[in-house]
């Protein structure tokens, strides 16, 4: 049997051409792997047939939407994962689930190599290859764009020469990656960072200045995971999809950032993540109510490191697994309801309630019924400031002696 190579297949021009390009360059048979993580567009069956029509000897397709939402997006939500305090890991989260299916397909079809469509400039080459090395250390990796000189103009010429069943165009202004957690847009005129995004950049969100009426929503969480919206039970996937629809209609979740890539390049990116950003705002506020102060402070550090690891392609690393355990423990009491107003690009929390709340009305109130013993404050302040007071006295004494 000929050597076999598994290819991460999207159904678009570049990966469709890569099937024949890889076969001609290596002499290997190509198995196309398409994974649905909620990117929309064509059906998996349509994509599967196109892969076969473009020369793949096998086509492996997987509907991973529920898996992606529950096992990848929900941990990110629990971690409040925002890279550079802005980016909710839209693309970074999808890569490990795709890697998991690429390695599974390699085992199923006896492939020795896994291929992806990334360039040598981006983060995704690292995310794919580090993940593949971790789950399948015996597998090799190749990237046609990076390793086999598959440029876009060559891809278009190859598709036309071979009469491949795909639409080719020499002018596509943006590079777009989408899934249920959000949508990433780059290149084209956006590479000039002085240029503002035009309306055609956006698809998941409406103009926040459109003037539609506010939308009030109540999100119910159990251990840091949304389980109901306005009292209706939802799966993680359904929660994200519903909030994509409702928050997206209000223009929530638009992000325009110059981002520090793993390879050392600064890159201008436009993201749309209405569901992710609205759910994260609700989750953070419920944590404010239910997570103890010192635990919450330390979790911010853990969450930031978790986010950096995932951004850098270390989803399957030992450290990330250890941080998962800490974050999971912090979510034990993150259960309850958050009420929000969605309006004009903002998701504003207006109410919170939880049986595991640490908010004590009788301690917090300034009215009659206050149970806080204010006489304790004086001694607390003396002790709390003692080390600074002693150090200040030392400084004053030594300065006067000069």
Rg (CA), the chain: 25
Q: Is 392 annotated as a binding residue?
A: no
Q: Which two tokens stand for residue 232?
A: 């209706």
* Burial status of residue 100 (CB atoms within 10 A of its CB: 0-12, 13-18, 19 or more): buried
Rounded CA separation 279/109 (Å): 39
3-class secondary structure, 145? helix
Is 11 annotated as ligand-binding?
Answer: yes
14, 48, 94, 352: the active-site residue: 14
Q: Is 72 annotated as a binding residue?
A: no
Q: Is 260 a catalytic residue?
A: no
**Catalytic-residue membership of 124:** yes
In the numeric block, the tokens 């794919």 are attached to 128
- 400: tokens are 């006067």
Query: How many whole angstroms separate alpha carbon 165 and alpha carbon 174?
Result: 22
Q: Which of 49, 61, 63, 46 is nearest to 102 (CA)?
A: 61
**Residue 33 near residue 6, CB atoms below 8 Å:** yes
- Token pair, residue 42, equals 């064509």
350 is in an annotated binding site: no
Active site residue 95: yes
Tell me which residue of 271, 322, 344, 313 sits closest to 88, measured CA to CA: 271
Report how far residue 167's alpha carbon sits from residue 144's, in angstroms, rounded to the nearest whole number: 20
Is residue 15 annotated as involved in ligand binding? yes
Catalytic hit among 2, 43, 86, 175? 175
Taking each continuous run of H as one helix and of E as one strand, the counts in the chain are 15, 14
Is 275 annotated to bind a ligand? Reply is no
Instruction: Identify the active-site residue in 48, 50, 95, 183.
Output: 95
Is residue 111 annotated as involved in ligand binding? no
182 is in an annotated binding site: no
- The values of phi and psi at residue 157, to 5°, are -60, -40
131 is in an annotated binding site: no
Q: At what angle do helices 318-330 and 293-311 cross, to 10 degrees?
A: 150
Place of tokens 């002693």: 390
Is the dihedral angle over the CA atoms 222, 323, 236, 351 positive or is it negative?
positive
**127 a known binding residue?**
yes
Of the residues 48, 50, 94, 124, only one is catalytic, namely 124
Contact of 54 with 164, CB cutoff 8 Å: yes
Q: Is 12 annotated as a binding residue?
A: yes
Q: Is 14 marked as binding a ligand? A: yes
27 assigned to a ligand binding site: no
**Residue 124 known to bind ligand:** yes
Could you please report the per-residue DSSP string of 17-42? HHHHHHHHHH--EEEEEEEESS--SS
Q: Which residues are annotated as a binding site?
A: 8-16, 87, 117, 119, 123-124, 127, 175, 259, 271
Q: Which residues are annotated as a binding site for ATP?
A: 8-16, 117
Q: Which residues are annotated as a binding site for L-citrulline?
A: 87, 123, 127, 175, 259, 271
Q: Which residues are annotated as a binding site for L-aspartate?
A: 119, 123-124
Active site residues: 14, 95, 124, 175
């Amino acid at each position: 049997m000929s050597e076999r190579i598994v290819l991460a297949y999207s159904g678009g021009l570049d990966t469709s051409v890569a099937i024949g390009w890889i076969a001609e360059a290596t002499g290997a048979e190509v198995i196309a792997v398409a994974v649905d993580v909620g990117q929309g567009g064509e059906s998996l069956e349509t994509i599967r047939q196109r892969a076969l029509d473009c020369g793949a000897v096998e086509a492996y397709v997987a509907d991973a939407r529920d898996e992606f939402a529950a096992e990848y997006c929900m941990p990110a939500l629990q971690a409040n994962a925002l890279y550079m305090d802005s980016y909710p890991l839209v693309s970074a989260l999808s890569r490990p689930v795709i890697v998991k299916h690429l390695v599974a397909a390699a085992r199923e079809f006896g492939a020795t190599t896994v291929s992806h469509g990334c360039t040598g400039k981006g983060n995704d080459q690292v995310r794919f290859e580090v993940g593949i090395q971790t789950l399948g250390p015996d597998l090799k990796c190749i990237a046609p764009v990076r390793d086999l000189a598959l440029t876009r103009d060559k891809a278009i010429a190859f598709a036309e020469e071979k009469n491949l069943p795909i639409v080719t165009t020499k002018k596509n202004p943006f590079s777009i990656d989408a899934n249920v957690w959000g949508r990433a847009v780059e290149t084209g005129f956006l590479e000039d960072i002085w240029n503002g995004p035009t309306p055609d950049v956006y698809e998941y969100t409406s103009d926040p200045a459109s003037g539609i009426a506010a939308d009030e929503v109540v999100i119910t969480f159990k251990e840091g995971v949304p389980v109901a919206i306005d009292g209706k039970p939802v799966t993680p996937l359904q929660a994200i999809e519903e909030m994509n629809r409702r928050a997206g209609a209000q223009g929530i979740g638009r992000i325009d950032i110059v981002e520090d890539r793993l390879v050392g390049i600064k890159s201008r990116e436009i993201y749309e993540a209405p569901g992710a950003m609205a759910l994260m705002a609700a989750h953070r506020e419920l944590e404010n109510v239910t997570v103890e102060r010192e635990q919450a402070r330390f979790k911010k550090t853990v969450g930031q490191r978790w986010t950096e690891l995932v951004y850098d392609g270390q989803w399957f690393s030992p450290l990330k697994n250890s941080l998962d355990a800490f974050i999971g423990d912090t979510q034990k009491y993150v259960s309850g309801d958050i009420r929000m107003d969605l309006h004009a690009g903002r998701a504003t929390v207006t109410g919170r309630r939880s049986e595991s709340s640490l908010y004590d009305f009788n301690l917090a109130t300034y009215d009659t019924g206050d149970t806080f013993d204010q006489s304790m404050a004086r001694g607390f302040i003396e002790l709390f400031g003692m080390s600074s007071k002693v150090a200040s006295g030392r400084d004053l004494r030594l300065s006067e002696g000069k």
